[in-house]
Structure 1
Amino acid sequence: MPLILSVVYFSTLVGLALYGAHRLKMLVLYGRAMARPRPPAPPLDASAQLCVQLPIFNEPLVVEALLEKVTALRWPDAKWEIQVLDDSTDETTAIIDRWLRAHPAAAARVTHVRRASRDGYKAGALKHGMALSNAEFFAIFDADFRPEPDFFEQLMPHFAADDVAVVQARWEFANRRQSLLTRFQAVFLDAHFVVEQTARAAAGLFFNFNGTAGIWRRTALEDAGGWTSDTVTEDLDASYRAQLRGWRLVYLDQYAVASELPENLIAFKSQQRRWTKGGIQVARKSLRSVFAAKLPGRVKREAWWHLTIGVVHPLLVTFSILFVPYLWFAADQLGTWWYLANPAIVLLAGGAPVAFYVAGQFFQRREWREGVMWLLASPLLLSFGLALSVTLCAAFFEGLFSNGGEFVRTPKGGRVARSGNLLTRLRSRTFFTAVTVIEVALSVVLLNGAVFFGSHGHSDLAFALGLKGTGFMVVALLSASDLWPSFWRARV
Structure 2
Amino acid sequence: MLALQIIIGAVGIVSGAVILVFALAQAWLAFRYTRAKAQGHASQVEPAPWSGKLPTVLLQLPIYNERYVVERLLRCMAQMDYPKDKLTIQLLDDSNDETTAIAARVIAELTKQGIHIEHVRRPDRKGFKAGALDYGLKLDNSEFIAIFDADFLPHPDFVKRVVAYFADSNVGMVQTRWEHLNADYSLITRMMAFAIDNHFSVEHGGRQASDSFINFNGTGGMWRRKTIEDAGGWKSDTLTEDLDLSFRSQIKGWKFIFAESITTPSELPVQMSAVRSQQFRWTKGAAETGRKTLNNLWNSNAAFSTKIVGSFHMLNSFIFLFLLCFGLSAAALPFLGLADFASVATILNTLIGLTMVATVFTFYTSQRSGDFGWTGKSPLNLLYTTITFMAMATGLCIHLTRAVLQGLIGQATPFVRTPKLNIMSNEGEIKTKQAYNIRRVPIVVFLETALAIMFVGLIILGLTYEHHAIAFTGVYAFYAIGFSVVSLLSWREASHA
TM-score by length of 2: 0.91
Residue of structure 2 in register with 1:489 after alignment: none
The question of 1:348 aligning with 2:369 is answered no
After superposing the two structures, state which structure 1 stretch, 272-281 or 14-23, moved more: 14-23
Residue of structure 1 in register with 2:143 after alignment: 136
TM-score by length of 1: 0.92
Report the 3-state secondary structure (helix = DSSP H, G, I; strand = E; otherwise coil) of the residue aligned with 1:255. strand
Report the 3-state secondary structure (helix = DSSP H, G, I; strand = E; otherwise coil) of the residue aligned with 1:196. helix
Residue of structure 2 in register with 1:270 after alignment: 277
Residue of structure 1 in register with 2:50 after alignment: 44
Q: Distance in 2 between matches of 1:294 and 1:194?
A: 27
Residue of structure 2 in register with 1:101 after alignment: 108
Report the 3-state secondary structure (helix = DSSP H, G, I; strand = E; otherwise coil) of the residue aligned with 2:377. helix
Match of 2:488 among 461, 477, 486: 477
- Residues 231, 403 of structure 1: 8 Å contact kept: no
Residue of structure 2 in register with 1:164 after alignment: 171
The question of 1:400 aligning with 2:411 is answered no
Q: One-letter code of the match for 1:445?
A: M
Q: Distance in 2 between matches of 1:88 and 1:233?
A: 20
- 1:467 is displaced (CA, Å) by 4.0
Question: Between the two proteins, what is the percent identity of the paired residues?
Answer: 33
Q: Distance in 1 between matches of 2:61 and 2:29?
A: 32
Q: One-letter code of the match for 1:353?
A: T
- 1:294 is displaced (CA, Å) by 1.5
Q: Distance in 1 between matches of 2:411 and 2:482?
A: 32
Q: Distance in 2 between matches of 1:236 and 1:403?
A: 18
Classify 1:385/1:191 alpha carbon distance in 2 versus 1 (closer, same or farther; 3 Å). same
Residue of structure 2 in register with 1:411 after alignment: 419
Classify 1:209/1:327 alpha carbon distance in 2 versus 1 (closer, same or farther; 3 Å). same
Q: Distance in 1 between matches of 2:386 and 2:232?
A: 43
Cα deviation code 1:185-229 (max 9, x no counterpart): 111111111210111122210110001011110011000001110
- Residues 42, 160 of structure 1: 8 Å contact kept: no
After superposing the two structures, state which structure 1 stretch, 314-323 or 243-252, moved more: 314-323
- 1:27 is displaced (CA, Å) by 1.1
- Residues 15, 325 of structure 2: 8 Å contact kept: yes
After superposing the two structures, state which structure 1 stretch, 294-303 or 346-355, moved more: 346-355
Q: Distance in 2 between matches of 1:6 and 1:118?
A: 48
After superposing the two structures, state which structure 1 stretch, 368-377 or 221-230, moved more: 368-377
Match of 1:28 among 17, 28, 31: 31
Residue of structure 1 in register with 2:259 after alignment: 252
Classify 1:234/1:366 alpha carbon distance in 2 versus 1 (closer, same or farther; 3 Å). closer
Q: One-letter code of the match for 1:54?
A: L
After superposing the two structures, state which structure 1 stretch, 236-245 or 432-441, moved more: 432-441
Q: One-letter code of the match for 1:382?
A: M
- 1:30 is displaced (CA, Å) by 0.8
The question of 1:465 aligning with 2:471 is answered no
Q: Distance in 1 between matches of 2:12 and 2:355?
A: 13
The question of 1:385 aligning with 2:393 is answered yes
Classify 1:420/1:18 alpha carbon distance in 2 versus 1 (closer, same or farther; 3 Å). farther
- 1:484 is displaced (CA, Å) by 5.0
Match of 2:333 among 326, 330, 333: 326
Match of 1:181 among 156, 175, 188: 188
Residue of structure 1 in register with 2:197 after alignment: 190
- Residues 177, 260 of structure 2: 8 Å contact kept: yes
Residue of structure 1 in register with 2:462 after alignment: 453
Residue of structure 1 in register with 2:286 after alignment: 279
Residue of structure 2 in register with 1:490 after alignment: none
Q: Distance in 1 between matches of 2:283 and 2:434?
A: 19
- Residues 266, 483 of structure 1: 8 Å contact kept: no
- 1:350 is displaced (CA, Å) by 2.8
Match of 2:157 among 111, 131, 150: 150
Q: One-letter code of the match for 1:381?
A: F
Q: Distance in 1 between matches of 2:258 and 2:309?
A: 17
- Residues 82, 111 of structure 1: 8 Å contact kept: yes
Report the 3-state secondary structure (helix = DSSP H, G, I; strand = E; otherwise coil) of the residue aligned with 2:365. helix
Q: One-letter code of the match for 1:5?
A: I
After superposing the two structures, state which structure 1 stretch, 260-269 or 28-37, moved more: 28-37
- Residues 321, 442 of structure 1: 8 Å contact kept: no
Report the 3-state secondary structure (helix = DSSP H, G, I; strand = E; otherwise coil) of the residue aligned with 1:369. coil
What number of residue pairs does the alignment pair up? 479
Cα deviation code 1:317-370 (max 9, x no counterpart): 11122222113446996546744x333311222332233233322221253526
Q: Distance in 2 between matches of 1:336 and 1:213?
A: 49
Residue of structure 1 in register with 2:443 after alignment: 434
Classify 1:247/1:102 alpha carbon distance in 2 versus 1 (closer, same or farther; 3 Å). same
Structure 2 gap ranges (5+): none
Q: Distance in 1 between matches of 2:447 and 2:97?
A: 34
- Residues 187, 360 of structure 1: 8 Å contact kept: no
- 1:36 is displaced (CA, Å) by 2.9
Classify 1:140/1:404 alpha carbon distance in 2 versus 1 (closer, same or farther; 3 Å). farther
Q: Distance in 1 between matches of 2:6 and 2:413?
A: 41
Q: One-letter code of the match for 1:359?
A: T
- Residues 361, 371 of structure 1: 8 Å contact kept: no
- 1:422 is displaced (CA, Å) by 8.2
Q: Distance in 1 between matches of 2:269 and 2:169?
A: 37
- Residues 349, 472 of structure 2: 8 Å contact kept: no
- Residues 78, 110 of structure 2: 8 Å contact kept: no
- 1:471 is displaced (CA, Å) by 2.3
Q: Distance in 1 between matches of 2:486 and 2:151?
A: 25
Cα deviation code 1:54-112 (max 9, x no counterpart): 00101111111111111101111211110010000111011111212333444640011
Q: Distance in 2 between matches of 1:299 and 1:411?
A: 35
- Residues 354, 381 of structure 1: 8 Å contact kept: no
